[in-house]
Amino acid sequence: MTSKDQTKVMNKGFTIIRADLFRLAIKFKDKNNLHWKIYEGDFESKAAVERRMKELLKQSDFIED
């Protein structure tokens, strides 16, 4: 997804999330935060990050980059 695409999606009210497996965190962007910020962090493992991402993506206003 390009930056332009992300802006369009965020302006429609969606939150974009991305797994940061190096830092064991989930990053996000939304219409109020145009740069990647930590949404949740300090996970114990990559699997824990991925499980939480799955949970968040069940909500209708979250999409994955």
pTM, entire model:
0.92
> Residue 10's Cα: distance from chain center in Å?
12
Which pair of structure tokens corresponds to residue 52? 């939480």
The contacts of residue 20 (CB under 8 Å, 6+ apart) are 26, 27, 38, 49
| Amino acid letter for position 58 | K
- pLDDT for 10-57, tens place per residue? 999 999 999 999 999 999 999 999 999 999 999 999 999 999 999 999
